[in-house]
Structure 1
């Protein structure tokens, strides 16, 4: 088994479940969108500033998972202190139009969704 590989025990061959379990967590989409918004490589601290409520531990884990899935690349520059930069890979860039559609849909529908949630909260 590959380190950090997510496999649904009931549907281990389902690519949709496998991929969504990785990018559908709390931070992955935000990291991908932050990297795209900057349009150039970003340092760890820049990503953290773009997503201020993510902890360093979770940001590290999220970046590792995105790198393992070839959605983000990590480049280490041999400097003192070492400089590390992250950017979207070609595969990561192909995901951005889909994420943008999800963001647009969310913005269009969030008001109605919140109103409906209030009906069920009583």
Structure 2
């Protein structure tokens, strides 16, 4: 059982109501985590922007950056960024990696606090 009530377009207010209504119109429903995030329009809006605005690159230098951002962000140096640029990555791709890591931290932490269990993968 979720620790935070799930909101719907009918029970949410303000920006959250609009965001949930748009999601329901597009997908038919929303998951428990998103419905609980609707208590904070800032969290819900930020989560949706991060989750729809980022496409992860699956090449090793970007994976290494993501791990470094997660594990030891203070260790990222000008040389690390210059190395990514040498592979052809620009500001957007580098910023996207930070957003993806933040999205995953937000998702995991929110689920733990709200008591939302992740959906089981389709088998």
Answer yes or no: same fold by TM over 0.5: no
* Higher percent of residues as strand: 1
- Kindly indicate whether structure 1 or structure 2 has the higher relative contact order, using CA contacts under 8 Å at least 6 residues apart: 2
With the length of structure 1 as denominator, give the TM-score of the two structures. 0.30
With the length of structure 2 as denominator, give the TM-score of the two structures. 0.30
* Higher percent of residues as helix: 2
